[in-house]
Amino acid sequence: MATNLYQSSIQELTKTIEDCLKNKEKLSCLILFYSTIDIMAWLSRDPHNADSTREDFIHWVEEFLLPGSGLDCKGEDLYAARCAVIHSYAQVWGISQSNKVAVNKIHYVWGKVSNSAVKINKSKPAGETISIPVESLVKALQTAIQRFNNSLIDNRAMFELINERSKKFFI
């Protein structure tokens, strides 16, 4: 596992996301959710890159967040949703219309929902609206962070890189 600074910072973020969810602070919850993925992608980016990119975000999502999550989306969908929420405080943003890869618009579902309330349809063509329970996003993020942390056990170089990069955290 990485340094205490890394651990405490990520734990603080995930706890705050949970608090926002519990207190129905919807946009704050989503902004922190997407920002946490941005941070994780920044930490795990290629050692030769000064900053993280769209591709780093998508790669982190597809490697750590989506597998086994049951989320009916792709990394590109979440990146477009991230841009919409963070850059325009809205559900859609320019990338959704101009993206070279067709993306699905995400409809966020809040509160407890039954499986029948959110119809999962893996065969939907790109460009459709998909419904995703925010609780599922939060749970997937928690699992993804644990999966990422576990990957550091066998990757000493990445472990050391995370330790070094986390020293740059704003604290």
C-alpha 15/C-alpha 142 separation (Å) is 10
The pTM for the full model equals: 0.87
- Answer whether 86's CB lies under 8 Å from 31's CB: yes
Residue-by-residue pLDDT tens, the chain, 171 positions: 445 889 999 999 999 999 999 999 999 999 999 999 999 999 999 989 889 999 999 999 999 999 999 999 999 999 999 999 999 887 765 554 455 668 899 999 998 765 544 444 444 556 789 999 999 999 999 999 999 999 999 999 999 999 999 988 876
Question: If DSSP states are collapsed to H, E and C, what string results for 117-165?
Answer: CCCCCCCCCCCCEEEEEHHHHHHHHHHHHHHHHHHHHCCHHHHHHHHHH
Could you tell me which residues come within 8 angstroms of residue 95 by beta carbon, excluding any fewer than 6 positions away?
Answer: 79, 80, 83, 84, 103
